[in-house]
Amino acid sequence: MSWTTVIWSMSGGICLALAAVHFLVWCKARNSWLHLAFAVSAAAAAAAGVFELLMMHSQTTVEYGQALRLLQIPVQVLVVSLVWFVYLYLKAGRRWLAWSIYVLRALILVVDFASAPNINFLEITALRQIPWWGERLVVPVGVVNPWVYLIRVGDVLLLAFVVDAAVAAWRQGRRRRALVMGGAVVCTIIVAVTVAVLMVIGGLFIPTTVTVPFLLIVFVMGYEISVDLVRSHQLEQELQDSEARMRLAAAATGVGLWEWNIAKDDIWATEKTRARVGLGESENMDFDRYLESVHLDDREPTRQAALRALEGRGEYRAEFRVVTADGVTHWVSGQGRVERDGQGKPFRMRGTSIDITERKQTEEALRKSEERLKEAQRIAHVGNWDWNIVTNDLLWSDEIYRVFGLAPQEFGATYEAFLDRVHPDDREFVTRSVEDAVRDGKPYSIDHRIRLPDGSERIVHEQAEVMRGADGEPIRMVGTVLDITQRVLIEQEARRLHSQLAHFGRVSIMGQFAASLAHELNQPLTAILSNAQAAVRLLANDKPDIEETRAALADIVHDGRRAGDVIYRLRDLLRRDREHKSSLDLHSLIEELASLLRGEAQAENISMTLDLDETLPMVLADRVEIQQVLLNLLINGIEALRTRTDTPRHLAVRTSRASDSRIEVAVADNGGGIGTDHLERIFEPFFTTKEAGMGMGLAICNSIVQAHGGRLWATSDPDSGATFHFTLPICEKEDR
């Protein structure tokens, strides 16, 4: 056996072996068309080698011509599969060039079988034997067929297609593939065409060979596919490692993975996902079985979400409850994406599932908390708001809308829209308060009126804080709104009732110091009467004493004014004017009341002393109401001393500074004191220790002092008597 036969046989065997291997690969993975293209190319190269051996050992010109004709079949298959392989491998190439090659090769086959003896020769006149690798082989001698140039045109088209595809792949970044595959094919075509042309024109006498040049292409193709196979194996291993890491990460984060083969209706899922739907590791799962684990109320929405993903953009999102075999309910969030084939039909959906039970429980707790907050705000008439100073967006809670009598769609949700609802007379005050808070960070706590759409008014109390950014600039203001309309009305009514009750107390006091009042009025009236009688007698003389008469009349005027002052003070005590607090000289008031009661005290043999600190400032109080408090305490002291016979009776009034902002007044008597069981109740309404008392005097005094921001209390000692203390605020604007 010659070297030619050995080499051609070995080459054919290698090609067939490679073809078989890659054909089996294609059978395992039917979408791997690249392997099928290579298998066809390798098998065609092996077949071409068989016909070349027949040609080299032909005995007659007829045998040679017949073998050369049949050689075109595997050659055409080799070219077509080579174009197919290049297109798939380089992922580039012009389709019209490929189809031009296919059509031309089909035409070459037709011409080859229509010509005699073949497309290469019109006539083979002889076979010349030449020495070749240790044996003698034959080469043809004859007349060249003009149709042979169709083969050369096909070679040029093939060369153009490969070059174009290689350039495109190079530009797309697949440079190694373009260089190796494109370079091998181009070199092989150039060598094959050159040898064929020289053989046809008779310039080169060597055996006809297509196998050897194209064997280089087959080897390059096989090598490149083998590299891809190795790389695929490496990628597969990396993918397995990545999947293992992904499974580990999913298990650590509680994420379940699943994949739905839509065509087979088969669902693959990780252990986490299977556990959530109550499936074992070996149990098969389809879409219906998956839906069976979903809570009945969530089953249809989940199914619709999957159908929308299949029919729409391919995004699957759903939150639903699943019930495990032991009856435990979990919330699950499922997300996935649909994958489609070349025809746009969905064939697979991949996704994840996450247990969101804890989040749902938190959301439910938050929802209930918000409901309770809204209910509390509704009951308390308190709402909260948030003003973004930068964007001027104002957010109100539901309760604020109710307080303002507005629906959300009726409110512009801006600061200006809020100001439109503020009472016009209060608008400037509100604006100034907001500006001060934003600019200076001053506390924002104001009361103002608002107008409702129906024209009615309400009074609200607002409190807020200003939030500042990292640069110190104000960015937000958050606060609350409290409807205080009812509270203000109640306070107004309470003040009215308080005024009436205080007036009633003052009237009742009149009866208690009637004797002192009669004494105070009796003295000036008696003096007026005496002076008037004296003036009449003086005027009755023949020679009236004008100076004496003038002096008597002056005394009458003085005593009249004295009686008028008593009546004026009585009128002040009984008037029902509204409360008016101003700067009050407390010592002058005490001295006036002492003079009013001094007559009654003297009648009861009670000494009255005043221990007043003249350095004390004035107080901020209502003169009439404080007069009522002092008068009530002094009369109570006089009444307490009437039963004391074993010791001299004494009533004292003292003033002192209680603190930096308060003055204390004390009214003390040395009577029998107040029992311990009565001391805590003496300021209660209708509680009294007097037989004819109503129990309202001290209660009224207590309410008056508290309304002034002070405190009224009592101390008692059986040996030294009782002392009543009360405090009043100092008037900061004016001192004594």
pLDDT the model gives residue 401: 87
Per-residue pLDDT of 100-128, as tens digits, reads 988 998 998 898 888 888 888 888 888 87
Per-residue model confidence (pLDDT) at position 729: 92
Q: Residue 735: which pLDDT band, with cuts at 50, 70 and 90?
A: very low
pLDDT level of residue 736 (50, 70, 90 thresholds)? very low
Arithmetic mean of pLDDT over the chain:
78
Strands, DSSP E only, in 398-520? 444-451, 457-468, 474-483
Q: β-pairing, 649-657 with 606-611?
A: parallel
Residue 543 has pLDDT above 80, yes or no: no
pLDDT digits (tens, 9 = 90+) for 276-295: 666 666 677 888 888 888 88
Evaluate whether 671 touches 677 at the Cβ level (below 8 Å). Answer: no
For residue 522, what are the contacts with CB-CB under 8 A and spacing of at least 6?
Answer: none
On the 0-12 / 13-18 / 19+ scale of CB atoms within 10 A, 489 is: exposed
Per-residue pLDDT for 261 more than 80? yes
User: Residue 199 has which token pair?
Assistant: 């053989």
pLDDT of residue 233: 61
pLDDT score, position 472: 84
Count the alpha carbons within 13 Å of 554 in the hemisphere toward its beta carbon. 6
Q: Are strands 255-261 and 266-269 parallel, antiparallel or unpaired?
A: antiparallel
Query: Residue 31: its pLDDT value, please?
Result: 78
For the record, the structure tokens of 573 come out as 């005590």
Q: Is the pLDDT of residue 39 over 90?
A: no
Are the C-beta atoms of 640 and 618 separated by less than 8 Å? no
Q: Mean of the pLDDT values across residues 434-460?
A: 87
Q: Give 703's contacts (C-beta < 8 A, 6+ positions apart).
A: 498, 501, 502
Q: What's the average model confidence in pLDDT over 503-514? A: 53
- For 344, the 3-state DSSP assignment is coil
Residue 244: pLDDT over 70: no
**With 50 as the cut, is the pLDDT of residue 160 above it?**
yes
Q: How far is CA 28 from the centre of its chain?
A: 52
For the stretch 225-246, what's the b/e string if a residue is b when 16 or more beta carbons lie within 10 angstroms of its beta carbon? beeeeeeeeeeeeeeeeeeeee
Report pLDDT for 429: 92
Could you tell me the pTM of the whole model? 0.40
Stronger pLDDT, 166 or 136, i.e. the higher one: 166
pLDDT of the residue at 83: 87
* Higher-pLDDT residue of 5, 729: 729
| pLDDT given at position 312 | 79
Burial class (CB in 10 A: 0-12, 13-18, 19+), 427: middle
How do strand 382-388 and strand 393-396 relate by DSSP bridges? antiparallel
Q: Rounded distance, CA 195 to CA 340, Å?
A: 49
390: phi then psi, degrees, rounded to nearest 5:
-70, -50
Q: Among the ranges 53-57, 191-195, 453-457, which has the highest mean pLDDT value? A: 453-457
Q: Is the pLDDT of residue 157 over 70?
A: yes
Find how far residue 241's CA is from the centre of its chain.
38
| Better pLDDT: 446 or 13 | 446
The pair phi, psi for residue 89, each rounded to 5°, is -75, -45
Query: What phi and psi values does residue 610 have, to the nearest 5 degrees?
Result: -120, 120
Widest Cα–Cα separation across the chain = 201
Which of 278, 259, 257 lies closest to 353 in space, CA to CA?
Answer: 257
The mean pLDDT of 365-372, rounded to a whole number, is: 73
For residue range 469-506, what is the model confidence (pLDDT) as tens digits? 888 888 989 888 888 888 788 777 666 655 555 555 55
Stronger pLDDT, 354 or 435, i.e. the higher one: 435
Q: Residues 76-109: pLDDT tens digits?
A: 898 898 888 888 878 888 889 999 988 998 998 8
Helix 697-707 and helix 623-641: axis angle, to 10°? 140
